[in-house]
Amino acid sequence: MHAKPLQRIVRGAWCTPILLSVFIGACGGSGQGLDTNGRPLSEQSKTNTGTNQPSNTSGENVFSSIQRDVLDVSCATSGCHSGTSAPLGLNLDAGKAYANLVSQSSIQVSGLLLVEPSNPDASYLVAKLEGTQDGGLQMPLGKPAINAQALAQIRQWILDGALESDDEPVVSVDPVDVPIPTIEPVLPTLDDIQSKIFDPLCISCHAGTTPSANLNLELGESYLQLVERPSTIDVQAKPLVSIDNPENSFLVDKLRGRSLGSFGDANYRGSRMPVVGGYLSESQLQAVEQWISAGATEMSSQ
Amino acid sequence: MNEVVNVITIQRVFWHAVNVLLMAGTLIVQPAMAEPYLAVRTGQKCMACHTNPSGGGKRTQFGKIYGQTVLPATGSTNLLLEQINNYLDIGGDIRASASVAKEPMEEDQAAFTNDRATLYLEAQLIPDRLSLYLDQRVAPGVSNREAWMMVSAQNKKTFLQAGTFYLPYGLRIEDDGAFIREISGVSFNNSDNGILLGHDAGPWSFRTSFTNGTNGGAETNTAKQLSARLAYIQQRWRLGVSANANDGADAQARQMSNVFGGLKLFGLEWLAEFDMVSDTSPETGKRRQSIGFLEANKELVKGHNLRASVEWLDPDLDVGANLQNRFSLIYEFTPLPMVQLRVGTRLRDGIPQNSAQNADSVFGQLHIWF
């Protein structure tokens, strides 16, 4: 009787050293002249030339160190949260990560912000890194989890307000001689709402000759169809936008998901908006409310 | 005669011992493995076993039968084909793992994880002509992986998909941690919205897609992603090429291309792929990467598969001393229909100043499917 199983094991086993020997001469790079991310050290020298170094000696700000030590190493790598292939469009490359994280809504779990300033427990980024997320998989995907020290640093950064840069040093002057200027707040205009909210997030459905809910939010139409106009679906009969009164504006209810009821109920007021692309961030919601509170004007502010 | 009996007895004892050890072993940690080797082993196209003509996900009746009769050490004659009726069919995968990861200068990590529990639904609205397909991950977390409708000509030789799907590009291996999957971004973790056109003619198989290029994220511009895959399949070998171009926001762009193939040689099933990736951005200019993948599979006896793979990555062709390697050795044991145990190890070798590039792991996985 032939020992066929043993022969098969031998035949199968020799493929391993063959495969290894093919690449044994191409082991990992020596890393000479490179930083921890595999980039030439000379690149950093060119980047630092001419930049304004902080006057204090504490070094780079917190977010910069998080970008360098966590995001660049574990997240914004090729094929992951970098460049055009970033999953769910979440690009965490340097120069883009902050804007894509802070006060931005999660696509995987509605109602959560990726980073909610001052609230790390409610920040979806923390949940994903700690493995306590409700949606998707723990990050970084396929790699060892972020160490406890880095997680603590991220939590503290969020708790401290999730600033992009540390506060600049205060220059001491004689307060008697320096008049304190009155800075008028810059309120969002309809142009801002149109370009930053309606156009990218709403007109995929609310446009054209047969817009959803018969509400056209395209440029030139949105104001006329919103301000002091009744909704066709609101059982509470609120106007879509009530001038000076965001609390009484159905648009705000829809954007915040406020008091919409449950599907099938008699008082159901429809789904939270937008239905695709993720809900609005807190800053975007406040912009809409500020515009309404300021009179919901059609013209741009001077 | 006594010598022959002794040899047979020794063989039986040996394999029973192996089976017992593997069934008792629960230290298994590993994301799922490459299934295209089964296509190479059988000489079939991916669509022979999978509802999705591009491969992956729910299995066809043939795929289910294969998984219950040919793949396991002990096949079944009482097939469970889970078809609700002529119009509805379901399927699922559950993968649970345990792992020990060792990363230089970091604390070792050992964890049990529920890698993925996925349910599939296929609705034949018009049999063999119009179908709806859902691939839904239900744990951990709930997310949709694929959701598309497909209009197809007779025998699915030509079809059009619309919805959310995985892109046609290269070898659709299950190991999303492999360089060819991770660096390209084309993996079972990323699906995109758009349309996909497919055509099969004899040994030829062609797929092309036109999608948002945001991997499921919101589309904020008019730029799109184009991906195409052409393969020639024979009984003992196959060869293919792929290309992908994605224009993103802020003048970013990526182009990828590869050559891939499979071969039955020396009693082994070989898979290989070579990729070139080019990224362009205003901040970094143009960066090119090269990626390689080579894998060998050997069915030792029915239900026992040994796999070895090597990978390499040059993350920037204009920078030296930055090469990365990844070696894997995995043993797969399918004792029963729809149950598979895997044990293995992965070794990474990169630049010494990056500990993640040198992280090693011992892993295993319990995989149940239907």
Which of A29-43, B251-265, B294-308, B345-359 is predicted least confidently? A29-43
Q: What is the pLDDT of residue B16?
A: 44
Q: A131, A27 in Cβ contact below 8 A?
A: no
Per-residue pLDDT at A277 exceeds 70: no
Using one digit for the tens of pLDDT, what is the confidence trace for A216-275? 999 889 999 999 998 877 778 889 999 999 999 999 999 998 888 877 777 778 888 888
With a CB cutoff of 8 Å and minimum separation 6, the contacts of B4 are: A1
Percent of chain A topping pLDDT 90: 22
Q: What is the pLDDT of residue A173?
A: 47
pLDDT(B311) > 70: yes
Q: What is the mean pLDDT of residues B314-325?
A: 94
A231-235, B86-90, B118-122: lowest mean pLDDT where? A231-235
Backbone angles phi, psi at A250, to 5 degrees: -65, -30
pLDDT band at B344 (very low <50, low <70, confident <90, very high): very high
Show the tokens assigned to B297: 């599979």
Q: What is the pLDDT of residue A66?
A: 92
Whether residue B146 is predicted with pLDDT greater than 60 in this model: the reply is yes
pLDDT digits (tens, 9 = 90+) for A195-211: 889 988 898 889 888 88
Nearest chain B alpha carbon to A28: B350
User: pTM, whole model, 2 decimals?
Assistant: 0.69
Contact B230, B212 (CB under 8 A): no
Q: Indicate the range of A49-58, A197-206, B359-368 predicted with least confidence.
A: A49-58
Give the minimum alpha-carbon distance from B349 to chain A in angstroms, rounded to a whole number: 5
CA-based nearest residue to A86, from B185, B227, B194, B256 = B185
Asked whether residue A168 carries a pLDDT value surpassing 60, the answer given is no
Mean pLDDT throughout A161-170? 68
Helix ranges (H only) for chain A are: 4-13, 15-23, 41-48, 62-66, 97-101, 124-130, 148-159, 190-193, 222-226, 250-256, 282-293
Q: What residues of chain A, 55 to 94, have a C-beta less than 8 Å from chain B?
A: 73-74, 77-80, 83-90, 93-94
Mean pLDDT value of segment B198-214: 94
Decide if pLDDT at B28 tops 60.
no
Q: Would you say residue A93 has pLDDT above 50?
A: yes
Could you give the 3-state DSSP secondary structure of residue B324? strand
Query: Looking at this predicted complex, what is its ipTM?
Result: 0.74
Confidence of residue A184 (pLDDT cuts 50, 70, 90): low
Could you tell me if A9 and B304 are in contact, meaning their C-beta atoms sit under 8 angstroms apart?
Answer: no
State percent of chain B over pLDDT 90.
Answer: 56
- Mean confidence (pLDDT) of chain A: 78
* pLDDT at residue A60, rounded to an integer: 62
What is the structure's pLDDT at A58? Answer: 46
pLDDT surpassing 90 at residue B19? no
Q: Which residue has the tokens 């290029």?
A: B213
SS3 A217: coil
H, E, C per residue of A136-150:
CCCCCCCCCCCCHHH
Res. B227: pLDDT tops 70: yes
DSSP codes, B258-302:
EEEEEEEETTEEEEEEEEEEEEEETTTEEEEEEEEEEEEEEEEET
**Chain-chain contact of A34 with B289 (C-beta, under 8 angstroms):** no
Report the pLDDT value the prediction gives residue A183, as an integer from 0 to 100. 54
A200 inside 8 A of chain B by CB: yes
pLDDT at A112: 84
Q: What mean pLDDT comes out for the span B90-100?
A: 92
Q: What is the pLDDT of residue A167?
A: 57
* pLDDT of A52 above 70: no
User: What pLDDT is recorded for position A268?
Assistant: 79
Question: What spatial distance separates the first Cα and last Cα of chain B, rounded to whole Å?
Answer: 45
pLDDT at A165: 80
List the one residue out of A226, A221, A199, A203 whose CA is nearest residue A291. Answer: A226
Q: What is the pLDDT of residue A57?
A: 38
Q: What is the pLDDT of residue B193?
A: 93
CB proximity under 8 Å: A 253-282 to B: 276-278
Minimum-distance CB partner of B321 among A31, A85, A141: A31
- Residue B211 in contact with partner chain A when CB distance is under 8 A: no
